[in-house]
Structure 1
Amino acid sequence: MMSTETVPPVKRVQGHKGYKNRRRLSRELALQGIYQWQVTGGNARDIGMQLQQVSFFSKADGPYFSDLLQGVLEHAADLQTQIQPHLDRQIAELSPVECSILLIGTYEMVYRPEIPCRAIINEAIELAKSYGGTDGHKYVNGVLDKLATRLRAVELQHPPARNKDSG
């Protein structure tokens, strides 16, 4: 089993009863797994199994967590290629936390079209505020806004009706 000493701890959020909160917890767990993958080079299966052992995993949306973790790691090279033109430095120079958040947000924009891009960006900002550097959320917001303009241009021009279950 891999060491978790280099992995930022997942903060427990009170009241994971709502669908959105379950999704947020899934994103937090996926963030931890993607961070661990970047830092240690572990494989997705082992990381996923390790994270499923945390005491509050049952409060997360398990299938969504698995989709995020597996999907981001499977498509990481393509996602990084899509992110890079919108950065002011090489992707390897980003902090692993901000990079992980950008990978999650980009994955959701590309592979989860049912989730409105504004919800994706807002969730990424919240992750960056909780786990990123001091102004990391501003950087994440700027990069994902630029990506949304390219990946979700039609949606931005004609936003979908609000759906509580989207985020």
Structure 2
Amino acid sequence: MKPIRTDGIDPAARSRARRRALQALYAWQVSGTSIPQVINQFQHEQDMEVADQEYFEALVKGVADHRAGLDERLAVYLDRGIEQVDPIERAVLRIAAFELLHRVDVPYRVVLNEAIETAKRFGADHGHTYVNGVLDRAAAEWRPGEAAQGRR
């Protein structure tokens, strides 16, 4: 039996939702397909049954709705323009930035760990190190209390 936290959140289902959101946002970035179409496409895939569907949609819609603001906030930590970042790493960074800024119910360490693991799985060979560097600096400024506690 898979563990479910007492607050009703299934961490494994959330992780799958993040991975599916990454794939959906990647598809959106490269194809220009509308967000409702992308969500609809992914809702009909078999492994969405084991993902947190509600969280998947919240991430995809949240990133799409706040893209300009997320990109602007991330730009401070990037060594190039956001559009020059590999599309997978760009989607990972946008998801993590959305969670750090708009989903304060998710601990910053969870956001960073999930982003790094997702980048390792889907990104370029060393893309996860880039993602880690960007998000580590961003989290220190966007969630200073949590970041300070995490570094003790």
Match for 1:104: what amino acid? I
Listed as ranges, the matches of 1:2-21 within 5 Å are 19-21=10-12
Counterpart check, 1:48 vs 2:39? yes
Match for 1:156: what amino acid? A
Counterpart check, 1:58 vs 2:49? yes
| Alignment deviations for residues 141-166 of structure 1 (CA, whole Å, 9 cap, x no partner) | 0000011011000122235xxxxxxx
Counterpart check, 1:134 vs 2:125? yes
Match for 1:86: what amino acid? Y
> Match for residue 110 of structure 1?
101
Q: Percent identity?
A: 37
| CA RMSD of superposed structures (Å) | 1.4
1:56 positional shift: 1.2
> Match for residue 11 of structure 1?
none
| Alignment deviations for residues 4-42 of structure 1 (CA, whole Å, 9 cap, x no partner) | xxxxxxxxxxx9775111011100110011101110111
> Match for residue 84 of structure 1?
75
Going from structure 1 to structure 2, the CA distance change for 1:146 and 1:37 (only over 3 Å counts) comes to: same
Does the 8 A contact of 1:51 with 1:57 survive in 2? yes
> Match for residue 115 of structure 2?
124
With the length of structure 2 as denominator, give the TM-score of the two structures.
Answer: 0.91
Gaps of at least 5 residues in structure 1 are: 1-14, 160-167
Rounded to whole Å, the distance in 2 between the matches of 1:98 and 1:158 is 27
Structure 1 stretches of at least 4 aligned residues deviating more than 3 Å after TM superposition: 15-18
Listed as ranges, the matches of 1:64-79 within 5 Å are 64-79=55-70
3-state SS of 2:125 partner = coil
Counterpart check, 1:28 vs 2:13? no
Does the 8 A contact of 1:17 with 1:59 survive in 2? no
With the length of structure 1 as denominator, give the TM-score of the two structures.
Answer: 0.83
Match for 2:72: what amino acid? T
> Match for residue 8 of structure 1?
none
